[in-house]
Amino acid sequence: MSTSAAARHAPGRVPGEGTAARARGLTKAYGAGETAVLALDSVDVDIARGRFTAVMGPSGSGKSTLMHCLAGLDTVSAGQVWLGDTEITGLRERELTRLRRDRIGFMFQSFNLIPTLTAAENITLPMDIAGRKPDQAWLDQVIDTLGLRGRLTHRPSQLSGGQQQRVACARALASRPELIFADEPTGNLDSRAGLEVLGFLRGAVDDLGQTVVMVTHDPGAAAHSDLVLFLADGRIVDELARPTAERVLERMKRFDGARGTGAARED
């Protein structure tokens, strides 16, 4: 595929809307020589601004690597990544750190909260470290939307899994980032707590105008998104707009079948 064709037809592209993040020819190899692993194989993708994008694919297909490279948390082996209009591949570490801090929120599967700090302290920790004062009105809105008002003085051990993930969600949102990445944010939660977090991410997009990219294994979780990108062996092999759990499941089965017969689909 030529570069110009890729520019026009990258998965995730929604004509007429801005692009929050973009990659062209994004390639990531771990290790070298015989033992090298190609985690991402020349991925072209556009993440539409103000939309909720889900990323699915088998374990080891490159989902986390894609998130980390788009978020500037990991270096790339080849290709280019932009956040908004800024190309981040090639930025110096200091510039990248600042840009990540100002524009990106990241939610990990394991909530990564500091056990000795209260919920409120955990939420503002990244901003405290950066020496930035939170926008109190925004912070209040995030805390109330996430239903954390009555839990602010609790430590993580005094909170349920769902509450802890909501604190992690509030932390990702506290600096009002343009773009939120969530790597299996419901993976460690029971279904009710998972629904709370999904409802919030959906609300962050619909009510607060954020852009969300979420990795999930769960067709039901993916159904909360606007668009599902399917990864296999480090490539985006398909996408599904306005997903329902049934259609996602159907698509996943099709890939399992294709993988079984060795017939890889080229997009």
Ligand X SMILES: Nc1ncnc2c1ncn2[C@@H]1O[C@H](COP(=O)(O)OP(=O)(O)O)[C@@H](O)[C@H]1O
Closest distance of CB 68 from ligand X, Å: 8
Residue 63 CB, shortest distance to Mg ion, in Å, is 5
Out of 19, 53, 61, 64, the residue judged to bind Mg ion by CB under 5 A: 64
CB-CB neighbours of 194 under 10 Å: 22
Smallest distance from ligand X to CB 233, Å: 9
- The partner in contact with residue 105, picked from ligand X, Mg ion, none with C-beta cut-offs of 5 to 8 angstroms by kind, is none
| Residue position matching structure tokens 């919920």 | 119
* CB closer to ligand X out of 31 and 115: 31
Decide: is 165 part of the binding site for Mg ion (CB under 5 A).
no
For ligand X, the binding residues (CB under 6 A) are 30-31, 37, 39, 57, 59-65
Residue linked to tokens 């980390």:
68
- Spatial strand order of the sheet with 104-107 comes to 104-107, 179-183, 211-215, 52-56, 227-232, 235-241
Q: Which stretch binds Mg ion (CB under 5 A): 33-41, 58-66, 159-167, 240-248?
A: 58-66
Minimum CB separation of residue 213 from ligand X in Å reads 13
Q: Which does 60 bind (CB under 5 to 8 A by kind): Mg ion, ligand X, none?
A: ligand X
Cα dihedral 99→104→108→114 (10° resolution): 70
Smallest CA-to-CA distance from 10 within 66, 72, 94, 90 is with 66
Query: With contact defined as beta carbons under 8 Å apart, do 44 and 70 qualify?
Result: no
